[in-house]
Structure 1
């Protein structure tokens, strides 16, 4: 609707406040009122402004996401985005409603995260009509690669030439500056020496020398990204993943990580996006220690959602050691998501299994043991620069299916059961679950791709020949088919349970180190689900009396259909890696 004069004035003042906070100590002080008017015009908020929805009304237990590259599935004579769309409609239309297509723009490196042109679709994938078609059938999530862009971009070439559009978009520093406190996710030199029309410049490169960091101290950069946001909204994007946003603001003499200005930029982006489209969501991608990651919720006024980065390494450690102690300790410490926010749960992604989010949660000895186990299963290790130039492990690069083929004792016969158990945990936790496409498909390590590219992350970025994939998924004897169908069956059960709403109550259970459990309760308190998982390779038993089930309710397992007639006396034998979802409200029952 068209905003009233009073509403527009209130929104303008809110944006002015954001801008004054962001640029309070910037060397170039903008006219905040004029800049606010410009941003509102770019977003067309002076013409149309939506009413914000009540908290938690924009998501439910039915929300399931899949994460994929645009060219994960390839078919002859077809744009990869069309192939992806065809696969989603044929195999996942009743399973997922959200698709995160990893950067689908022209790029020079890092599999899309060194963006050359934010306004174009990579022609090797398709074009904007393909994106719009996907957005018409699924809630579309896209990356806002906001910290850096490609050194092959027109902006950077204009920087070298010293003139033209975008020539002043990049952050530079003197090589004589003490930058030892700057936190890095890589081991390459921070500054890239670049010859320009204005002499030798040293460009800040948090990630690689093909990814030049942008200078948000220049308000023209902020305006550019607001234009990009508007462009994405116009093409159907409804979920914005703020890539590497923790590194956004630079201030010499600090670690340049999670600075107050960065948090205020996130708050500004949220204000602009949610008033432009009430059901739009921003998710921060901050691969950091747990407490730092949680800070991006702000006071319920920053990200609508954060990636639950500590879950993958802790869950992996749990399942390869057969001990849930550290996972349980972490879960007990996690605050419920505030009103209007939710956790984005994932256990595998296009990147590796991050180890920074395990800092303070696992000891260095435990991390070293986890790394050693993953290396036995074909995994690689990527490194970052630590304090005083030391090299520290940053992530483990491995396909999750191969990561869970055994334990610290070695490979065993429980790989599929362990893999399904991991996803059953993710599906039941507070938040919205997201499957990496290769986890849904039970894809293993791609050694040829890793060797041909020389990139550790390529091991988990396989490209499927579409006919080969469909043949595998239609073969009941194939492990790809077996895993795919079992995961889909779990999703169908989850989607019917009010107690699995992303914001439904959750409490951690204290059973044993081998039996991991938590309790979920629907927001109307009518349904309870006790989620119990044997995370070990040995059978264990559980007395139902330990769960304090209400004896007058009719309890049964949603997965197996098993009924428990005497919850005070029944003892359950739980097989290795078996999952139980014991409920008093039987919305659906389907064996997996």
Structure 2
């Protein structure tokens, strides 16, 4: 993966078209901005129960977007990352409908994670309470087969997403077939979606247990053998992320977005500086994604170990996001919206900062100076605001940050001072040699945060005074760059 800023986008929600239109944008209006594109689920269908994360067929491109040759064509312009949804398939998939029709006689019967596979003996109340849940309720759904037999299946996320037994013969073949298709289309990196839930074991939390780490290494090895890097998507305690990072090529730095908000809201950059001193160097950094802003990643562990922020600081952080977004984020978060995740705040990052251009650019500058490779979400690139109309239409909280853009909207966004200033930051991050070196993060006088990169004679230093909102970049080979105007 190139050490350049990467782009995250849906094909249809950005272009109102398909892969060919996305390639036109990448080669045209976005030329030189991105080393790669994480293309959010483009499999058939893109408009299922979970916006593409519940494919009926993971090996087919939704024909509304194009085909695998179009994916391969895009790879001629930028590196491509695609999602490998390892935990589940759609309840409308051919494999599951065959199981419903034929029951145990189905060739796919063993592919799905049934309750009795994990609990062959009766599960106790303690067993069930031990299962980690980011959402209300237990991760099971009752299904009725064609002959009237009822079975209890694992459905970690929704009843429309049926969990796979990843160690079954059919489950293994299923995942390997997807990897093969990705490799054939010149996909160079995969994102393991919901990987922390893939392994279930009686008596455990069924989330990021020892066997999960072994599974991650197994999948990563298969991907590498096909020429692909692996990014693991897991929201968890920050020390767990450090351990996960040792076993895969890339891991998300999900602690960064709330820590930056905390620094901007309170003027206290100490938690951020402490994290940057120990955060994984093989991270993918984000401020915004297709999901909400996570807070579990800076919280305490369930065993009592301290988090990066105190509980009251997290409560204050969430409250300030709600305040700065004029209450819009509150309408899209928690029990207020379906398909919810209790540990995320649904809001555009720009709205979380009260649509303040200077604060937003300070946040992006910190992200670009943080260890790892930065990714910028399509809504964030264009300075997008909360889509309250889409939220009202779907009732899905995360849709507040999944806007459908038209060409006119994109054209208008590209002419804003915010986009021009952000583009300059992106190009600086992509081209300056200092980012190939090492980072030093310090708190200077009066609480200013200083992030310094050094690579041979090349250096780049970002200095931010949160008290008076001054931010600038000093770098070898160029004049000082002011972030705040």
| Same topology, TM > 0.5 | yes
Alignment correspondent of 1:366:
313
Alignment correspondent of 1:329:
274
TM-superposed CA distance for 1:234, in Å, is 0.3
Alignment correspondent of 2:430:
495
1:157–1:490 CA distance, 2 compared to 1 (3 A): same
**What SS does structure 2 have at the residue aligned with 1:306?**
strand
1:253–1:198 CA distance, 2 compared to 1 (3 A): farther
TM-superposed CA distance for 1:514, in Å, is 4.1
- Relative to the length of structure 1, the TM-score reads 0.73
TM-superposed CA distance for 1:271, in Å, is 2.1
Alignment correspondent of 2:347:
398
**1:308·1:344 contact (CA, 8 Å) conserved in 2?**
yes
Whole-angstrom distance in 2 between the partners of 1:436 and 1:312: 13
- Equivalent position to 2:183, from 222, 233, 243: 233
Alignment correspondent of 1:185:
134
CA displacement, residues 464-499 of structure 1 (integer Å, 9 cap, x when unaligned): 11133214424xxxxxx2111111111222223222
Whole-angstrom distance in 2 between the partners of 1:217 and 1:198: 28
TM-superposed CA distance for 1:355, in Å, is 1.2
TM-superposed CA distance for 1:366, in Å, is 1.3
Whole-angstrom distance in 2 between the partners of 1:312 and 1:267: 27
**1:445·1:459 contact (CA, 8 Å) conserved in 2?**
yes
2:2 counterpart of 1:59: yes
TM-superposed CA distance for 1:589, in Å, is 6.9
TM-superposed CA distance for 1:399, in Å, is 0.7
- Equivalent position to 2:375, from 428, 434, 437: 434
Alignment correspondent of 2:304:
none
Alignment correspondent of 2:303:
none
TM-superposed CA distance for 1:125, in Å, is 2.3
**1:270·1:282 contact (CA, 8 Å) conserved in 2?**
yes
Alignment correspondent of 2:477:
586
Alignment correspondent of 1:457:
398
1:90–1:67 CA distance, 2 compared to 1 (3 A): same
TM-superposed CA distance for 1:198, in Å, is 7.4
Alignment correspondent of 2:238:
290
Whole-angstrom distance in 1 between the partners of 2:107 and 2:59: 14
2:14 counterpart of 1:81: no
1:588–1:71 CA distance, 2 compared to 1 (3 A): farther
- Equivalent position to 1:221, from 171, 182, 200: 171
TM-superposed CA distance for 1:322, in Å, is 2.3
**What SS does structure 2 have at the residue aligned with 1:71?**
helix
**2:231·2:251 contact (CA, 8 Å) conserved in 1?**
yes
**1:493·1:589 contact (CA, 8 Å) conserved in 2?**
no
CA displacement, residues 251-292 of structure 1 (integer Å, 9 cap, x when unaligned): 011001112222222222222222332xx2110001111111
**What SS does structure 1 have at the residue aligned with 2:200?**
coil
Comparing 318-327 and 230-239, the one that deviates more: 318-327
**What SS does structure 2 have at the residue aligned with 1:357?**
helix
**What SS does structure 2 have at the residue aligned with 1:517?**
strand
Count of residue pairs the alignment pairs up: 456
TM-superposed CA distance for 1:81, in Å, is 2.4
Whole-angstrom distance in 2 between the partners of 1:319 and 1:211: 38
- Relative to the length of structure 2, the TM-score reads 0.89
2:410 counterpart of 1:469: yes
Alignment correspondent of 2:113:
171
Unaligned runs of 5+ in 2: 300-306
TM-superposed CA distance for 1:534, in Å, is 2.4
Comparing 212-221 and 508-517, the one that deviates more: 508-517
**1:496·1:587 contact (CA, 8 Å) conserved in 2?**
no
Larger Rg: 1
Whole-angstrom distance in 2 between the partners of 1:128 and 1:59: 23
Whole-angstrom distance in 2 between the partners of 1:260 and 1:591: 47
**2:276·2:370 contact (CA, 8 Å) conserved in 1?**
no
Unaligned runs of 5+ in 1: 1-57, 385-390, 407-414, 475-480, 539-575
CA displacement, residues 39-81 of structure 1 (integer Å, 9 cap, x when unaligned): xxxxxxxxxxxxxxxxxxx533xx2101011112245xxx332
TM-superposed CA distance for 1:402, in Å, is 0.7
Which one has a larger percent helix, Structure 1 or Structure 2?
Answer: 2
Alignment correspondent of 1:265:
215
Whole-angstrom distance in 2 between the partners of 1:282 and 1:529: 29
**1:440·1:483 contact (CA, 8 Å) conserved in 2?**
no
Whole-angstrom distance in 1 between the partners of 2:26 and 2:384: 17
**What SS does structure 2 have at the residue aligned with 1:226?**
helix
**1:185·1:206 contact (CA, 8 Å) conserved in 2?**
no
- Equivalent position to 1:152, from 80, 92, 100: 92
TM-superposed CA distance for 1:590, in Å, is 6.6
TM-superposed CA distance for 1:507, in Å, is 1.8
**2:134·2:342 contact (CA, 8 Å) conserved in 1?**
no
The within-5 A match list for 1:549-560 is: none
Alignment correspondent of 2:459:
528
The within-5 A match list for 1:380-399 is: 380=330, 382-383=333-334, 393-399=342-348
